[in-house]
Structures are given as structure tokens and as C-alpha cells.
Structure 1
Amino acid sequence: MKKRRLGNTDLHISEVGLGCMNLGTNEQNAKDIIHEAINAGINYIDTADLYDYGENEKLVGKALKGKRQDTIVATKGGNHFDPNQEGWYWDPSKKYLKEAIKNSLIRLGLDDVDLYQLHGGTIEDPIDEVIETFEELQQEGLIRYFGLSSIRPNVIKSYVDKTTITSNMMQYSLLDRRPEEELLDYLNDNQVSVLVRGTLGKGMLTSNGIEQWEKKGSNGFLDYNAEELKEVIEKLQVLANESSTTLESIAIHYCLSHPGVSSLILGASRPEQVQNNIEAYYNAPKDQSIIEEVTNMTKKQIYEQHRT
């Protein structure tokens, strides 16, 4: 599998990464998913402390035993929770982030992580303190690099203006083209890699797109109403059939076509879903004219909120 550079670092990550949020709680199933991904050439493994309130990191850690050298491991923090209680609240304080990363490392069974991401963020956060915290964690050898997981333009630009973040994870797909208007080129120009989540649009950008629309599209999606959403999925499916490919492959090809994107973080709840994602990646159409066609079929969008 091809790799792309992660920001301005010495790390090169697979164009498809494994998002671990949907691993579930069965240890053997989680292990099988992660090993399937690694054996297929995926080297970027992404988790977060909030996933199943820390249990996800434990499963990832167990699955990575003996395979750490083959992987680039990322986790996230900032959501304050007690494993013994329900609920969480946002807490980007230095005190909590330092506590959170140490707990993450214990659960993962690692001495450090390659990438530590702020799991959200608001413009009201003590951004200078967060940056100072990340830099201290680097100096302490607990993290190699740091980044964000945010779709808020004002938050993203504040960090880029103030420090050298490595990456930003954000939702981006044919159905959510908001990053194109102002963030993809901006981040690329600043050597900040984009890690994409939501590539397959809640499953609506797949061969089962209409079935998924029936389950998840009744209220529309962003600025698509339900009928517009169904119509665009059907048009994309026709194009895929005419091009002898799949809608999954087109969706993957589209997101990877931007040079600012380093990896698509695709989730899986079963090993065969990893296989399907990999197959769709390798079968991505090489004809660049498809990019123009699907661009014309879908809406240009902008971020309406988090402007100032």
C-alpha cells in the first residue's frame, strides 16, 4: 500500500488507516481486525481514550503486542471521564491532558504514541496552555507529534497560527465537501496533514448506499434533504456501474485525490470489512475524469459555524 508523509515529520502512513472506534468489546474480534489491517499493509492505527471509556485502547494495546514496530499509533484526549461512571465533559486543561495521556499509555501498554490528538476543541479553550502541554509531553518523550481532531475552522486556524501541529482529522467525503472551500489547501500549504474520517458517508457512499439511506438518510445529510440525498446516491451508483467500479472505490479515490490528505481512516467492526475497504482502495478508478464528474454531481459546501 502506498504511504504519504504525515505533516512535516519523518513518518509515512498508509493511505488507508484503521479507525478503531467500531472494534467492539470482543478481544479476539478486535485482534483479528487489527491483524487483518496490518497484514494488508495498513500501518496507521487510530484510537481514542473516550472509545468505550478506555476499553478500546486496552484492546488495541493487546492486539499490538509484538507488532508495535509495524505500526504508527495515534490516540486522542481531552474528554474527561471516569471509567467507573457514565458521561464525560470537555477538559483541555494541562492537568487533565497530562493525566489522560499517561492513562492512555498504560491502557495501550506503550511507552509513547506517535501522534496525540486533541479530541475536539473550542475557540474558548486555553489554546496556549494546550500547546504548551503538547510540547512538554514531547519533551518528556510520551508523544512524538501532536495534532487535532476538529471540524471547526476557527479552532484549526488558531492552532496553525500558533504552533506546528502535525495533522488534523476531519470529516470529508463526496457528501461533505466543506473542507474543500477553505481548509484543504490551507492545511497543505502549512504542511499539516489531513486525516479523513467519514469517507463513505455513513455507508451511503457504498454499493449498499440506498439501503443505508433508508436507515440513516430520512432526515437528509448536512444541506441535502432526504430526496436530494437519495437522488445523488443513485446518480453516483449509476456512474460507478458505468465505470465498472464501485461507489466505495470512487469515494476513496475522490478523497485521496487531494494532495493535502495523508490517509483515510476507515473503521471496521469485522475483519471482512477491512478486506472490503482494502479491495475498494486498490480498485479505485485511475481515470481522473471521474473526479470532475462526481464534483459536478455533488454540492459545494461551506462551514456555516465556528467562523470567529
Structure 2
Amino acid sequence: MHYATLGTTDLRVSRVGFGGMSLGADAAADRRLLAQAQAGGITLFDTADLYEHGRNEELFGAAFGHCRAQVVLATKVGNQWRPDGQGWDWNPSAAYIRQAAEASLRRLRTDYIDLYQLHGGTLADPHEEVIEAFERLREQGKIRHYGISSIRPNVIRRYVPGTGLSSVMLQLSLLDQRPLETVLPRLATHGVGVLARGALAQGLLAGKPNREYLGHPAAAVQAAATAVAAVAARLQRPPAEVAGRFVLDTPGVTAAVLGIRTPAQLAEALQLARSAPLPPEARQELLRAAPANTYEAHR
């Protein structure tokens, strides 16, 4: 298993992380899956207070209480469930961040969160207030590091540089190369780590039927998937590994966070974590098959 330092911080994470947005209905089976991931060398486990009304955090807390020091727990804040449980509202206020952090700590059964992330962000947010809340939580020892989860370049520019941000979580894949234009170079220049999600483009690069995706017509999606399959066949690797390696091999990426819901997906993730980089010619072949797209909004 390979590990990396998150930006310029002292937080070391596995290069493949476990994303826990939606696990199954069998809590015991989910705990076994998490235990198998940790035993296999995965140390980064990412969740959010929004997921399943906090039950996802509770699951992580139950799974890792006995080995807390051996895992890196990342969660997110900013989406506040309405009292009736029917939807949520965006709330980046300092008061809510402090309140939500206490609730996440209880659900995670821990006295500190390794990485606390703002779960989105807009230009209208009280930027200084958000940073002040994160810094205060860090001074109190309730969080070790903080970051944002955002695909908006203009929001990322508000936080980098000039803050103590350790990471940005963003979407990146062969079919979503938007961060390569300006975001990844900016984060690398300022020593901010990158947690990349969406490496398989909702499964489109790993065998799911092609369809339009992020402005790419279905034919272009099929061309990218075909290139991934061709490289995989030549290198004798699974397509999911080739698509994942495209992300991991991208300069500036710290870790790929994968949505792991089944033992088969966990096996693929562990194989990816132990895999070698793609040969340069294979990466160029993939890039030729999928022309880069760029951000059209929030620039």
C-alpha cells in the first residue's frame, strides 16, 4: 500500500480512500467491509454529516472505535437538515459549523476529526467566518486539519492561498479533466492536497452503458471507455484500475476517494492502491481518446 502526505501537512493518507456516501442496509456487513478495507491498508475514510442523516458517520464510529489512531477520518459540514428531515439548506455560518462539529464528534465516537471539510461553498459565503470557525476548532483540538469539497474554481480561489487549508476534494476522471486547466496547478503551487472523487465517471469508464456525461455526447463517452478497455487489455489490468490510475498518476493528486459499497469494489480498490503507474504512452493514448473539457461556470 502506498501513502502520501496531504499537502504540506503531517497527515499521511493511503493513496486510495474509502468514500462512504451510501453503504448497504446490513450494518454488520458494512462494518465488516470497513474492517476489511482497513486491514487491506486503506487508512483514509471519508464521509459527511449529510449522508443518511448522520448514520454514515455513526457506522464509521462503530467500525473504528477500537483502532482510532490507525485511520484518518474525514467528514464534511455545511448542509443542514431541515427539522422535518425533508431536504436540507446550505448553512456555512460559524455557529452552525461549531454545532455540527460537536454532533459529528459524537456520531464518530471520537474526540477529534482528522480532516473537517466545508461541503460545498459559494462566493456569497462568509469566507472569513468559515476560516475562523475551522481555526478555532483546530485550536481546541477538535479537528486536526480542514479543507473544502468543491468543484468551483472561483470558490477555490477564495480559499487558496491565504488560509490554513490542507486539502480540496474535487471531481476528476478521464471524462472530467476540468481541474487540469487551472485548479490543480494552483493547488500544487500552494501546497494544498487534492482528494479526487469520481475516477470511474459513475461507472462509465468501467463497463456501464455509455450515455451523455458532463457535456460529452454518448459517442465521446464510448470512445473514452473503449480506450480504457484497450489499454486495460494490453496491460492485462482491469478497466477500473486503468481509469483509477489515470487519476492517481495526475500530478498534484494526493489520493483517489472511491465509493466502495461491495466486497468486489473493495477488491478493485485494493488492487488499484497496489498498482504501478501507467506507462506514459498509455496515458497519452487515453488523453487522445478523451479531449479535455473545461469549466463553463463558476470560473
* TM-score interval (norm. to shorter): over 0.9
Partners of 1:4 and 1:285 lie apart in 2 by 15
Aligned residues: 299
Aligned 8 A contact 1:245 1:284 in 2: no
Q: Partner of 2:170: helix, strand, or coil?
A: strand
Aligned to 2:5: 5
User: Aligned pair 1:87/2:83, yes or no?
Assistant: no
Aligned to 2:283: 291
**Could you tell which deviates more after superposition, 33-42 or 17-26?**
17-26
User: Aligned pair 1:22/2:19, yes or no?
Assistant: no
Partners of 1:83 and 1:104 lie apart in 2 by 17
User: Aligned pair 1:70/2:70, yes or no?
Assistant: yes
Aligned to 1:199: 199
What amino acid is aligned across from residue 19 of structure 2 in structure 1?
Answer: G
Aligned 8 A contact 1:74 1:117 in 2: yes
**Could you tell which deviates more after superposition, 103-112 or 287-296?**
287-296
Task: Provide the alpha-carbon RMSD of the alignment.
Answer: 1.4
| TM value normalised by structure 2 | 0.96
User: Aligned pair 1:253/2:245, yes or no?
Assistant: yes
Sequence identity (%)? 40
Partners of 2:224 and 2:183 lie apart in 1 by 24
Q: Partner of 1:245: helix, strand, or coil?
A: coil
User: Aligned pair 1:213/2:209, yes or no?
Assistant: yes
Aligned 8 A contact 2:16 2:272 in 1: no
The counterpart of 1:244, out of the listed 232, 236, 240, is 236
Aligned 8 A contact 2:138 2:145 in 1: yes
What is the Cα deviation at residue 25 of structure 1? 3.9
What is the Cα deviation at residue 231 of structure 1? 2.7
What amino acid is aligned across from residue 179 of structure 1 in structure 2?
Answer: P
What is the Cα deviation at residue 235 of structure 1? 2.9
Aligned 8 A contact 1:44 1:73 in 2: yes
The counterpart of 2:256, out of the listed 264, 268, 280, is 264
Partners of 1:213 and 1:280 lie apart in 2 by 22
- The C-alpha deviation readout for 1:232-259, integer Å capped at 9, x for no partner, is 2123212321232222121121111123
Partners of 1:282 and 1:83 lie apart in 2 by 44
Partners of 1:237 and 1:113 lie apart in 2 by 39
- The C-alpha deviation readout for 1:16-45, integer Å capped at 9, x for no partner, is 011011223421122011111101100111
Q: Partner of 2:195: helix, strand, or coil?
A: strand
1:227-238 map, 5 Å:
227-238=219-230
Aligned to 2:114: 114
What amino acid is aligned across from residue 230 of structure 2 in structure 1?
Answer: V
What amino acid is aligned across from residue 135 of structure 2 in structure 1?
Answer: E
Aligned 8 A contact 1:249 1:285 in 2: no
Aligned 8 A contact 1:246 1:280 in 2: no
Partners of 1:23 and 1:296 lie apart in 2 by 35
Partners of 1:91 and 1:153 lie apart in 2 by 20
Which consecutive segments of 4 or more residues in structure 1 shift more than 4 A? none
Partners of 2:262 and 2:54 lie apart in 1 by 20
What is the Cα deviation at residue 72 of structure 1? 0.7
What amino acid is aligned across from residue 270 of structure 2 in structure 1?
Answer: I
What is the Cα deviation at residue 82 of structure 1? 4.4
- The C-alpha deviation readout for 1:169-222, integer Å capped at 9, x for no partner, is 00000010001011111101111011010011111111xx2xx125xx2xx001
User: Aligned pair 1:274/2:273, yes or no?
Assistant: no
What amino acid is aligned across from residue 225 of structure 2 in structure 1?
Answer: I
What amino acid is aligned across from residue 306 of structure 1 in structure 2?
Answer: H
What is the Cα deviation at residue 89 of structure 1? 0.4
1:166-205 map, 5 Å:
166-205=166-205
What is the Cα deviation at residue 223 of structure 1? 2.1
Q: CA, structure 1 residues 98+78, in 2 after alignment: closer, same or farther (shift >3 Å)?
A: same
What is the Cα deviation at residue 84 of structure 1? 5.2
Aligned to 2:140: 140
Aligned 8 A contact 1:37 1:274 in 2: yes
| TM value normalised by structure 1 | 0.93
- The C-alpha deviation readout for 1:140-179, integer Å capped at 9, x for no partner, is 1110110000000010010113312000000000010001
Q: Partner of 1:74: helix, strand, or coil?
A: strand
Aligned 8 A contact 2:241 2:268 in 1: no
